[in-house]
Amino acid sequence: MTGGYAAGTRARNNVRIGCGAGFSGDRIEPAVTLAEKGELDYLVFECLAERTIAMAVRTRLKHEEGGYDPLLAERLGAVLPAAVRNGVRIISNMGAANPIAAARRAAEIARKLGLGPLKIAAVSGDDVLRQLRAQDRPLLDAPGSVWQWPGELISANAYLGAEPIVEALEQEADIVLTGRAADPSLFLAPLVHEFGWSWDDWGSLGRGTVIGHLLECAGQITGGYFADPGVKDIEGLAELGFPFAEVACDGTAVLRKVAGTGGAITLATCKEQLLYELHDPTQYITPDVVADFSSVRFEQLGRDAVRVSGGGGKAKPEKLKVSVGYKEGFVGEGQITYAGPGAVERGRLALAIVKQRLSRLGKEILDLRLELIGLDSVDGNANGARAPREVRVRVAARIQTQEGAALVGREVEALYTNGPAGGGGATQSIKPVIAVVSTLVDRAQVRPTLHWEGVE
Amino acid sequence: MILRDLAHTRSGDKGDTSNISVIAFRQEDYELLRKEVTAERVKKALGAMVLGVVERYELPELGALNFVLHRALAGGVTRSLALDMHGKCLASLLLSMEISSKS
């Protein structure tokens, strides 16, 4: 295989890394803007949530070439022309449950677009289902063990760190596609590769992890998930731009976005994102390092430019976290709206009727939720003192069988002609439940492996 | 005065655990937040939604508090029957907490 566009790149003092997606369904245009105008070295797409990989494993069971991110083709098709033109290397966990098939698909897309030569690496080895089937382990976040959890065990994916990605970059991969990898590791890897940080330089690895954590949710640091009119106003949300970091070899960075895009990078957006999904700020655990976020500092340098410094780390954990997925029945759901005077009372009557009608399912119902959207569906403590002009009845139940789950929506729909006055707009849905819990495995049991696809 | 007058908040989720950051708009209000927004008050404000304990971490340099709410997501994103399975709205609900400036 000939070298791709990454061939011959050299170590430097400054690296620009952008984030092109913060979740699997994220907008595509901001990544194209970053690839075109960000003057980036790397563009990272974080597309894999805890539950997503278990769903992807199910897809792969049905189709051998499936199980990678459903938007992979669309995303890479949109971004690759500018990325190749500008020498921007791509790293993503869009490989999901099938990184090797994802790499083959990526190569196909590049060929179709007439792009190349390209080197594409797939990182596999996160799948540890075989290991967990052979040996039981205690759960991390729930009582009992992997084998004791109710439901059918269908997936087990260990969180890989930055190491295999760095190896791929060292072998001049233009695109690296992983399955389950820790989100910040996708960003830490190019920093380790470019700056030559050693794997026991915990301070640098910690600071790189802070930068990865700040970038990994894309628009959440540029004003998305932030605006609150009159209190926290953000301009141009419809054209929200995604962030990039200009990282120096000491692990400090300046967070920016492409000029002319919507949103804002301020001290407030940075602080919110630093603390997002954080527990103990001194112990942010990844496969690479236990990072310390408590000493991170922000300084506003100018419009949409915030300098991040501080942060540190200590030795990486001995074991790797594993997300374990189980099939656990189905969720059936139905909704219907009531309005005008007495809407709340009619809504409550509707809930009581459906509850009674579903009671014939008996023990098949594993969990049941009855609520009024607009009154108490999100605020579980609402006492109903207010009387909204409209409420939406919502009934959701987790049920062992698909047939049982289907009954939930049907009983809600039946309220049209068999329930209180004026029920409108009934909807129903059924979806399979994939429960995800966590356990730990020894690093020795996880063997990351690289596979290559070439485009001539 | 309510919390929204002094601070902004964001929720995150990991399994059945939620975290809510509370960040002072002005650094000088941090001490007041530290006194008023205790783990006990957060647990009480969210009531029946939080089944487990609430822990608080202090980040004085950022003017921020971080609350970790155990067993607060109806079993976790993947199994929860809640409409807001991630608990994204929890941080907004907390903003109505009454703050007494006398403390």
Q: What CATH number is associated with residue B88?
A: 3.30.70
pLDDT above 70 coverage of chain B, percent: 98
| pLDDT, tens digit, 9 for 90 and up, residues A265-287 | 999 999 999 999 999 999 999 99
Among chain A residues, CA nearest to B46? A381
pLDDT at position A382: 75
Residues from chain A contacting residue B18 (CB–CB below 8 Å)? none
Q: Return the CATH fold of A324-438.
A: Alpha-Beta Plaits (3.30.70)
| Chain centroid offset of residue A132 CA | 24
Residues A33-44, mean pLDDT to the nearest whole number: 98
Per the model's pLDDT, the better-predicted residue between A13 and B11 turns out to be B11
pLDDT at position A9: 57
Asked if A358 contacts A332 with a C-beta cutoff of 8 angstroms, the reply is: no
Interface test with A, best of B51, B62, B80, B95 (most A CBs within 10 A): B62
Residue B103 lies in a domain: no
Residue B35 lies in a domain: yes
Backbone Cα Rg of chain A = 24
Q: Is the pLDDT of residue B61 over 90?
A: yes
Asked if A169 contacts A197 with a C-beta cutoff of 8 angstroms, the reply is: no
Which A positions 238-267 lie with beta carbon below 8 A of chain B?
none
Residue A186, judged by CB atoms within 10 A of its CB (0-12, 13-18, 19+), counts as buried
| pLDDT, tens digit, 9 for 90 and up, residues A339-358 | 999 999 999 999 999 999 99
Q: Is the pLDDT of residue A209 over 90?
A: yes
Residue B89 lies in a domain: yes
User: How far is the C-alpha of A147 from the C-alpha of A152, rounded, in Å?
Assistant: 9
Residues from chain B contacting residue A440 (CB–CB below 8 Å)? none
- Is B39 touching A (CB cutoff 8 A)? no
- Tally the domains of chain B: 1
Residue B99 lies in a domain: no
Residue A241, CA distances (Å) to A41, A181, B20 in order = 18, 25, 25
Find where tokens 């995604």 sit: A242
Asked if B82 contacts B49 with a C-beta cutoff of 8 angstroms, the reply is: no
- Is A395 touching B (CB cutoff 8 A)? no
- Is A231 touching B (CB cutoff 8 A)? yes
- Of the candidate ranges A11-25, A182-196, A337-351, the one whose mean pLDDT is the lowest: A11-25
User: CA of B40, closest CA in chain A: separation in Å?
Assistant: 16
Q: Is the pLDDT of residue A330 over 90?
A: yes
Asked if B27 contacts B63 with a C-beta cutoff of 8 angstroms, the reply is: yes
User: How far is the C-alpha of B90 from the C-alpha of B77, rounded, in Å?
Assistant: 14
What residues make up the domain containing B81?
3-94
pLDDT at position A380: 80
pLDDT at position A135: 95
CA dihedral sign, ordered A52, A58, A64, A66: negative
Please report the ipTM that was assigned to this predicted complex.
Answer: 0.97
User: How far is the C-alpha of A103 from the C-alpha of A95, rounded, in Å?
Assistant: 8
User: How far is the C-alpha of B86 from the C-alpha of B78, rounded, in Å?
Assistant: 9
Residue B64 lies in a domain: yes
Residues A183-212, mean pLDDT to the nearest whole number: 98
Residue B100 lies in a domain: no
pTM for this predicted structure: 0.95
User: How far is the C-alpha of A60 from the C-alpha of B69, rounded, in Å?
Assistant: 35
Q: Is the pLDDT of residue A387 over 80?
A: yes
Break chain A into its structural domains and give their ranges: 14-125+160-317, 324-438
The total number of residues written for chain A in this structure: 456
Residue B79 lies in a domain: yes
Residue B77 lies in a domain: yes
